[in-house]
Structure 1
Amino acid sequence: VLDLRYEAREVEQNVVQQDRNDAWFEAKTRGLTGVAKAKLKQRWGNLQKMFSSKARLGQIVADIVFDMETKPRLHDGRGNAMLVAGSIYQACKFYELFQETELKGKCAIVTSYEPAVGDIRTETVGDDGETEAVEQYEIYMKMLGGKDPKVFEKEVKEKFIKQPEQMKLLIVVDKLLTGFDAPPATYLYIDKSMRDHGLFQAICRVNRLDGEDKEFGYIIDYKDLFRSLENAVADYTSEAFDCYDKEDVSGLLTDRLDKAKEQLEDSLEALRALCEPVAPPKDMVDYYHYFCGANTEAFDLDELEENMPKREQLYNLSATALRAFGEVSGELQEKYHYTMEQIKALEREVTYYIKVRDDVRLASGDYVDLKKYDPDMRHLIDTYLSADPSRVLTSFGEATLVELLVDNGISALKDMPASTPKEQEAVAETIENNIGKEIVERTQSNPKYYEKMSALLRELIEKRKNDVINYEEYLRQIVELARKVHKPESGTEYPPGIRERAAKRAFYDHLNGDTVVANQIYDAVMSSKQDNFRGSKIKERKIWRAIRAVVKDDQEADQLLALVKEQSEF
Structure 2
Amino acid sequence: YEEIKKEPNAPSLVVVMSGNKQRDPKEYWPHIRTKHELEELADNFKNPETDPQMAIVVEMWLTGFDAPCLHTMYFDQPMKEHSLVQAIARVNRVFKDKPGGLIVDYIGIVDNLRKSLAVYTFDTIRRTLLNVDEVIAQLREKYDLVSSLFYGIDYKRWKSLAPEQLSRVTTMTYDKISGDEELKKKFVRNFVALKKLYALASPRPEAYEIKDDIRFFEMIKKMVVKYSTARIREINRELEYEISHLISKSITAEEPLDVFALMGKEKPDISIFDEKFLAQFRDMKYKNYAAELLAKIIKDQLVVKMNVNPFRYRSLYEMLKEIIDKYNIKLLNAAEIIDELMNIANEMKKKVESGKRLKLTEAELAFYDLLSSRGKFFENYEQIQEVARKIIEELGPYTKVADWNRKEYLKAKIRAAVKKVLMKAIDGRASYAEIEKLSVNVMTHAEIIYALQEDRSAPMLGAPSFVTAETGFGAP
> Normalization by structure 2: what TM-score?
0.37
Structure with bigger strand share is 1
Structure with bigger helix share is 2
